[in-house]
Structure 1
Amino acid sequence: MRGAPWRLAMRVFTDKMPPLQQALFNISATEKAATPVIPPADDNAFNGSLSDETAVMAWLKKRIAVQLRLSDPASLHPNQDLLQLGMDSLLFLELSSDIQHYLGVRINAERAWQDLSPHGLTQLICSKPEATPAASQPEVLRHDADERYAPFPLTPIQHAYWLGRTHLIGYGGVACHVLFEWDKRHDEFDLAILEKAWNQLIARHDMLRMVVDADGQQRILATTPEYHIPRDDLRALSPEEQRIALEKRRHELSYRVLPADQWPLFELVVSEIDDCHYRLHMNLDLLQFDVQSFKVMMDDLAQVWRGETLAPLAITFRDYVMAEQARRQTSAWHDAWDYWQEKLPQLPLAPELPVVETPPETPHFTTFKSTIGKTEWQAVKQRWQQQGVTPSAALLTLLPPPLSAGAVPQHLR
């Protein structure tokens, strides 16, 4: 299996951060707790009949308005092309999942995109054609307290990341992780409070105590030592020496591959600049994190910082993984597996891009990027949407020509 390990080093400016993350740095005694990540189920419940097109339409409009951030669901015209309002493939997947969960109907994506409007979706849901049979309700996740610390499988993406840390694959030996850096003042962001709050997160979230054993199974440690944030004192150095030291620290963290079988798989490090200022480095391994879990963690960290008590978690990541493993015994899963096994030989191979024949022991990667102005992007995106094309589909269509220029000749599509 070939993964695409990557890392990201960035400077975070708190005034640019979303409100939930700003709560971590700009504390207010009267500030309320962060908005829950998942809205209450009652907000999405459907209590009508699938034969009642008016009720289905009203439910759809409400869900779509939330997704597209429209203030008034009633203002959404039944024949409005949702693509032109910003509905993309990811939002459609979310909507389709809600339709399946709350209405019990699995809609056909190809047919849905033929008339992606509230009216078109209503007709598709209410007709319940054979091609889109009603889906059974998924089983409710249950916490398995007895097996909480027993080994369990890596997910496919975790497995790819784990292999990427080794030299078993070309350009391996790289951890897939993200590196954040914040420049802060001691009087506005107390490191002692941060250290205490971080240890509370370690106790709350099992995946912050995860290790991967040699057999490729992940395991949660029941207890771990208290985590102390190391400090690198740069106060006696000149500004130029500090710059060099900070660059060295960034480079070290950027290419660090922490042993997956040893705790912890994260690093918090402080570089002391002077008596008032410091830089906080946060290195998070994606064996433990993804974007959504990082958001949850930051929300929790903000609440702990404010002195609020976090309720114990009812479900763990292990519970979720084991439930996914159980689904592999169902006929629906086997049908899907058989379908894709038949399709796999028909799919084109990945492009064979030119690489150095003998990769270095520790590969270094350089990211090249370009940006397009917001006005230009909105204009070109609107033109694509008017043609019924999502921005992702349009960009993917533009990708093969430049790839073909450097790839071994083959069919790219």
Structure 2
Amino acid sequence: MSDLQHNLADLSPERRRLLDLLLRQKAQSDPAQILSLPRASGTNTFPLSFAQQRLWFIDQLQPGISAYNIAVGMRLHGPLDVATLNRALNQLVERHETLRTTFVLQENQPVQAIAPQLTIPLPLVDLSAQPAAKREAAALGAVAETADQPFDLERGPLFRATLFRLADDRHMVLLTMHHIIADGWSTGVLLREIAALYRSNIAGQPQALPALAIQYADFAQWQRRWLAPGSPRLASQIDYWRTQLADVSKLLLPTDHPRTAEQKMTSARENHMLQRELTAALHSLSQREGATLFQTLLTAFQVLLARYTGQSDIAVGSGIANRNRAE
């Protein structure tokens, strides 16, 4: 009997089942079958991706909340041509169909509806008359209030821009969008493209951005075909996650106040600056253990949760780019 056969024989039934599942997944993930994403045509309505369907469902349960708003801002220093910036924003909307998308019911099923054209205004909030000492705080408060305004997935638009003027040569641009049309990775793309479009417009040059080979609706159609109901590939994916999450226990985290009966989706963020020496030590530890800094910090967070709860098996969710295709 070979070493490999010995190793397989020593596997527990649970590990053998997981190995079989992984091998089936590998056999079903033939990249040659998904190299091409054909462009959808002849209609302006398309199926939702699985990620969009989750967010749509949550919105049906709790309509009118801003928990899934994504807001990103830019500080602009120097002379600003507001009309040119507005033009760049609308060129961006013209370029990306998802920024022109709303979500409606069609035959009792949600679909994404893409508007052929959409003009986004750029309202100006002028704070330059505020006392200089209070201007920054006023701007941040106005930004937070604007970013917290909820979206209507059916009526749209699900993308908006607001310009805040602190002085003639100091501005803040806030872009707010619903998570159903964008994610954290998208915001970086949008900011880079707005800057490129603005520079091209100021210079009087044609757009330098390459044409998009596909739009998000194309991906949604492809994903629905690739993971079609009843397909072995979809069944394999579901089996995998059922196995991974089968024994996940609820985190018994003690709180200083009783939890409310209704989840209000309110949150806050606490920033803490680590000292240079501690940061260097964390980097050194990560390198020694062959881990990333994120993995090291996540481990520390898990240890902290274990100390508070007394639990040893804790599931923590992490935001990921979820980009496994070049398109």
TM-score (norm. length: structure 1):
0.57
Distance 1:263 1:130 in 2: 42
Decide which of 307, 315, 336 is 2:214's aligned counterpart.
Answer: 315
CA distance in 1: counterparts of 2:166 and 2:295, whole angstroms: 46
- Partner in structure 2 of residue 228 of structure 1: 121
Residue matched to 1:348? 248
- 1:177, distance to aligned residue in structure 2 (A): 2.9
| In structure 2, distance between residues paired with 1:375 and 1:318 | 47
Structure 1 residues 326 and 264: CA distance shift in structure 2, 3 A = same
SS in 2 for 1:228: coil
Q: How does 1:7-406 map to 2 (within 5 A)?
A: 136=30, 137-139=32-34, 140-147=36-43, 149-156=44-51, 158-165=52-59, 168=62, 173-185=65-77, 187=79, 189-213=80-104, 217-239=110-132, 242-243=135-136, 245-305=138-198, 306=200, 307-309=205-207, 310-329=209-228, 330-345=231-246, 347-353=247-253, 354=255, 356-359=259-262, 363-373=265-275, 376-406=278-308
Give me the whole-angstrom Cα distance separating, in 1, the residues matched to 2:306 and 2:227. Answer: 38
- 1:55-87 CA-partner distances (Å, limit 9, x unpaired): xxxxxxxxxxxxxxxxxxxxxxxxxxxxxxxxx
CA distance in 2, matches of 1:186, 1:317: 35
Between the aligned partners of 2:141 and 2:47, the Cα distance in structure 1 is 37
In structure 2, relative to structure 1, the CA distance for the partners of 1:403 and 1:150 (3 Å cut) is same
Q: CA deviation at 1:248?
A: 3.4
Q: Write the distance in 1 (CA, Å) between the matches of 2:84 and 2:294.
A: 42
Shift of 1:223: 2.7
Could you list the per-position Cα deviations for residues 75-101 of structure 1 after superposition, in whole angstroms to 9, with x for gaps in the alignment? xxxxxxxxxxxxxxxxxxxxxxxxxxx
RMSD: 3.4
Cα distance, 1:278 vs structure 2:
3.1
Q: Kindly tell me the number of residue pairs found equivalent between the two proteins.
A: 277
Q: Is the 8 A contact 1:154 1:216 kept in 2?
A: no
Q: Which runs of 5+ in 1 are unaligned?
A: 1-128
What CA distance in whole angstroms lies between the structure 2 residues aligned with 1:131 and 1:256? 42
Contact conserved, 2:75 with 2:170, CA < 8 A, in 1?
A: yes
Q: Which amino acid letter does the alignment assign opposite residue 155 of structure 1?
A: F
- The Cα shift of 1:405 comes to 4.8
Checking the alignment, whether the CA contact within 8 Å between 1:207 and 1:288 is kept in structure 2 is: yes
**Matched letter for residue 232 of structure 2:** S
- With normalisation by structure 2, the TM-score equals 0.70
* Structure 2, unpaired ranges of 5+: 1-22, 315-327
Could you tell me how far 1:228 is from its partner in structure 2? 1.9
Percent identity at matched positions?
A: 18
Which amino acid is the alignment partner of residue 146 of structure 1?
A: G
Deviation (angstroms), 1:195? 0.6
Deviation at 1:269, TM superposition (A): 1.3
